[in-house]
Amino acid sequence: MVHSMDGILGLSYEQFASISLVLGVGGLMLYMAFIMYRLARESQAGRFGTAMIFVLLGLGIGGFVVKTILKLTLDV
């Protein structure tokens, strides 16, 4: 077995960490959307209640996405 000093899967540690963060948090966002859907369905929230659940709880997801986009566009 040959050990490479390139990092993990041929990527640098910084690249691997960045990709892992996006994939991991992305997966958690999808899971959170599923939880919000189940919450709305099981509580019989109705159309307005379901919309409020997704809008208000979805603001946290939106904040992470906006932060990521700003970091990429501003090269911070």
Where along the chain do its domains lie?
30-74
User: 16: pLDDT confidence band, cut at 50, 70 and 90?
Assistant: confident
| CA neighbor of 29 nearest in space, from 51, 54, 47 | 54
Tell me the average pLDDT of the chain.
Answer: 85
**Average pLDDT score over residue span 2-23:** 77
User: 50: pLDDT confidence band, cut at 50, 70 and 90?
Assistant: very high
Quickly list DSSP for 20-73: HHHHHHHHHHHHHHHHHHHHHHHTT-HHHHHHHHHHHHHHHHHHHHHHHHHHHH
Q: What is the CA radius of gyration of the chain?
A: 18
| CA neighbor of 63 nearest in space, from 25, 31, 12 | 25
